[in-house]
Amino acid sequence: MNLTIRDIARMAGVSPATVSKIMNNYGGISEATRQKVYKIIEDTKYQPTFSAKSLATKKSNLIGLIYAGKINVDFKHPFFNEVVNSFKKAVGALGYDLLLFSNEKIYQGESKYLERCKHFHVDGCLIVAGDEIEEAVCEIAESEIPCIGIDLKLEGPNSSYIMTDNAKIGMKVVENLYLNKVKKVAYIGGKQDSLISSIRNEGFIDAMKQFGLPLNEKWIHYGDFFEESGYLSMKKILQGNEWPEAVFAASDMMALGALKAMKEHGVRVPEDIQLIGCDDIESCRYSDPPLSTVKQDKHKLGKLAAYMLDDLIRGNVEIHPVKVDPELVIRSSSIER
Amino acid sequence: MNLTIRDIARMAGVSPATVSKIMNNYGGISEATRQKVYKIIEDTKYQPTFSAKSLATKKSNLIGLIYAGKINVDFKHPFFNEVVNSFKKAVGALGYDLLLFSNEKIYQGESKYLERCKHFHVDGCLIVAGDEIEEAVCEIAESEIPCIGIDLKLEGPNSSYIMTDNAKIGMKVVENLYLNKVKKVAYIGGKQDSLISSIRNEGFIDAMKQFGLPLNEKWIHYGDFFEESGYLSMKKILQGNEWPEAVFAASDMMALGALKAMKEHGVRVPEDIQLIGCDDIESCRYSDPPLSTVKQDKHKLGKLAAYMLDDLIRGNVEIHPVKVDPELVIRSSSIER
DNA sequence: CTCCTTAGCAAAACCGCTATCGTGTTCTCA
DNA sequence: TGAGAACACGATAGCGGTTTTGCTAAGGAG
């Protein structure tokens, strides 16, 4: 069996309370006994038992990780993965481990996130969401448990959120195209009912208006962020009697689908039509030609989320929602004059 | 504050012990009181506190997830991600949650995995590894804690492992090429010092020998599984005075790199040279042409790992290492006559 | 009708750690 | 020199479960 605090205390000839105080840097301990006990702790590599400590303190140094929404947002998602990865690193450096809630049982109505957070005494939660969020997620945001949401508006007494400034994305793209003298631009957006994509849609429309560029209805289509929908939208655009000079898709997946359609039609990219995607997922670099895109700074998003959550947990700061600037990445599917 | 088992007991007019027995299906309880208590549990949505239960039972229903190896094997890895995702689902259905150990050095010293496993009372561990494994990983495999390794030979009293039958991969490819009358095949393998890639390398060599195909030294190169190395290897191959009819790369990333080199040389794929990769990562489908590859059944790997680990935890089965068959997926970068 | 078995439950110790509070020792200073 | 303050540390009562032990009453056998 493992050593307990009592064993350490006995070895050092002090009380368990003293050992506890030393391990938690409480003070009120003489330097001499401190040294003595510390040596034993190091020699024996003693580590306090998590569950006992957690039971006594009601803290856990654990952060719950929730992939919410009914869509398949999990380990396979190229964008959220990178964000969570960066979050994991940052939060690890702060001394937390991550608890991954399996969302299997939840759909069978068995266990709510909030209950399980309390059950585990998690110190805080990171909530990653694709589309609509379930009731169970609201429940936890409204509780006292500190939460940070990524790509969803999470509001509550101890909650906040962070996302890319999606409204700026359209402007970045349109501005770049405008500077390169292209004015006829088509748009493939995401579902209107999703928060992120509706913000992107508006951003694009606004930017076009701001530069006084024409909004041709035949060139505006809405998909579902996945490849197939981009492919189908592009088909329709190409069937029209006039082609745009450039296409901007609100997700890289859709852009990749559009690219496929263009190739089937013998369209040369970027000579005949330029193409710009959004998100900067891995596959952008392997397409032919490599896809220009608007990059979301996933690393920064994750790290910021970590620090914000830590502040929330420590309770020493009032946290406001944060928006991170997107960045245009020009590869070969668009032209930089 | 949350309800405790004592609160439930008081409400039901029984002792805490009785409530505990009912919650854990112990028997020795009359149907009448059972019903009575159960109703209260349901009404109040009572959930026992994890840390208290864990402290008393020394169990946790938690599975530790360790991304080992010094290379960047984490959320960003396209192959392991899918495996872990499938694992997560299967294990969630079995009632476990996942504890993600951050591999940062969080506690003052370098914290060992084993210590932390004990600290959290994890029931078992899934260890995912890229290349070399650290000492700390061996330590935990040699302990009593049940462990399943993926893509690494994990041996110990309560440990086992699972991986694709990498030795068969070469045979699948060479056989297919042979049936399509291509005999001159080049190979881009992985590092010799990595377990997985050395198995793949041998498998390829053996298969070539078995079909009596020539092994041209100029057509055999070794990279590091990443894109750049595939690109460079292919360059060398194309600089030779004779070209192969097909190239087989031991990872999709390298195949994608090779594809880039071929395009730069104006090589038509698959008309001039066929190309086959390995792993079936997402990007295969978006390359031009889409990449033929040898698919690892990531879903099966993850699910099997979950069931094996569960068996190991329950202690009712002796678990032997498992190898999962790879499967050839023909897309457009190779020809099926 | 008595004795013994057994089912059904309560009491209490315990898991390992923290936190409050009290006691004994030393230090300070009038 | 003695009183009070400051300091170091120990004793102990939880935290919220589980589990062993043992008591009580009902049921069955003789």
Beginning with the edge strand found earlier in the chain, give each strand of the sheet holding A124-129 in spatial order.
Answer: A322-324, A159-164, A147-150, A124-129, A62-68, A97-100, B97-100, B62-68, B124-129, B147-150, B159-164, B322-324
Task: Report the number of secondary-structure helices (H) and strands (E) in chain B.
Answer: 12, 12
Could you tell me if residue B211 is inside a domain?
A: yes
Q: Does residue B84 lie within any of the structural domains?
A: yes
Question: Is residue B277 over pLDDT 70?
Answer: yes
Residue B261 has pLDDT above 50, yes or no: yes
Q: Which of residues 79-108 of A touch B (CB under 8 A)?
A: 81-82, 84-85, 88-89, 91-105
Same domain, A172 and A287: yes
Q: Is the CB of A32 under 7 A from strand D?
A: yes
- B272/B232 same-domain check: yes
What is the average per-residue pLDDT within B22-46? 87
Residue B317 approaches strand D within 7 Å at CB:
no
CATH of the domain at A10: 1.10.260.40
What is the C-alpha to C-alpha distance for residues A94 and A77, in angstroms, rounded to an integer? Answer: 25
What is the percent of chain B with per-residue pLDDT over 90, rounded to a whole number?
54
Which residue did the predictor score with more confidence, B181 or A114?
B181
Instruction: Give the span between the Cα atoms of B313 and B123, in whole angstroms.
Output: 7
Q: What φ, ψ does residue A118 adopt, rounded to 5°?
A: -70, -40
Tell me which residues of chain A have a pLDDT lower than 70. Answer: 1, 69-77, 102-111, 130-134, 316
Structural domain boundaries, residue A27: 5-48
**Within a domain: residue A334?**
no
Mean pLDDT of B163-170: 96
What residue has token string 């006992």? Answer: A52
Looking at the fold, whether B189 and B273 belong to one and the same domain comes out as yes
**pLDDT confidence of residue A137:** 77
Other CB atoms closer than 10 Å to residue A206's CB: what's the count? 14
A-proximal residues of B, 290-319, CB under 8 Å: none
Q: Do B78 and A54 touch (CB under 8 A)?
A: no
**Would you say residue A337 lies in a domain?**
no
Q: Do A182 and A287 reside in the same domain of the chain?
A: yes
Question: What residues pair up with A126 in beta bridges, in sequence order?
Answer: A65, A148
Distance CA B326, CA B199 (A): 13
Q: Are B207 and B254 part of one and the same domain?
A: yes
How many angstroms separate the first and last alpha carbons of chain A? 70
Report the C-alpha gap between B160 and B156 in whole angstroms: 7
* pLDDT grade for B205, boundaries at 50, 70 and 90: very high
Has residue B72 got a pLDDT over 50?
A: no
Average pLDDT, chain B: 87
- Is the pTM higher than 0.85? no
Q: Average pLDDT of B76-101? A: 83
Residue B234, H or E segment: helix B227-239
Please indicate, yes or no, if residue A336 is contained in any of the structural domains: no
On average, the pLDDT of chain A sits at 87
pLDDT at B106 over 50: no
Same domain, A104 and A144: yes
| Mean pLDDT of the B287-314 span | 93
| CATH number of the CATH domain containing B180 | 3.40.50.2300
Indicate whether A183 and A280 sit together in one domain.
yes
Strand A159-164, strand A322-324: pairing? parallel
Query: Does residue B107 carry a pLDDT above 50?
Result: no
Whether residue B213 has pLDDT greater than 50: yes
Cβ distance B202 to B222 under 8 Å?
A: no
Average pLDDT over residues B190-211: 91
State whether B171 and B83 are in the same domain.
Answer: no
CA B313 to CA B317: how far, in whole Å? 9
B213/B131 same-domain check: no
Same-domain check for residues B156 and B206: no
The whole-number pLDDT of residue A106 equals 45
Tally of domains within chain A: 3
- Contact call for residues B132 and B195 (beta carbons, < 8 A): no
- Using a 7 Å cut-off to protein CB atoms, list the covered nucleotides of chain D: 7-12, 14-20
Of B60, B81, B89, the CB nearest to A104: B89
What is the spatial distance, in angstroms and rounded to an integer, between the CA atom of A131 and the C1' atom of D30? 75
pLDDT above 90 for B207: yes
Min mean pLDDT across A281-285, A326-330, B37-41, B45-49 is at A281-285
Flag whether pLDDT at B178 surpasses 70. yes
pLDDT for position A76:
54
Over 70: is that where the pLDDT of B69 sits? no
Judgement on whether residues B27 and B97 belong to the same structural domain of the protein: no
Do residue A319 and residue A286 come from a single domain?
Answer: no
Q: Do A75 and B85 touch (CB under 8 A)?
A: yes
Using one digit for the tens of pLDDT, what is the confidence trace for A35-92? 889 999 988 888 888 889 989 998 888 999 988 765 444 455 677 888 888 998 899 8
Question: What pLDDT was estimated at residue A27?
Answer: 77
Instruction: Annotate B19-35 with DSSP letters as a single string.
Output: HHHHHTT---S-HHHHH
Q: How far apart are CA A277 and CA B60, in angstroms?
A: 45
Tokens of A88: 């994991």
* Residue B281 belongs to some domain of the structure: yes
Domain membership of residue B139 (yes or no) is yes
Mean pLDDT, residues B49-70: 85
Instruction: Show which of residues 49-68 on chain A sit within 8 Å of chain B, judged by CB atoms.
Output: 49-52, 54-55, 60, 62, 65
Please indicate whether, in this complex, the C-beta atoms of A91 and B85 are within 8 angstroms of each other. no
In a domain, residue A53? The reply is no
Q: Tell me if A103 and B92 make a contact (CB, 8 A cut-off).
A: yes
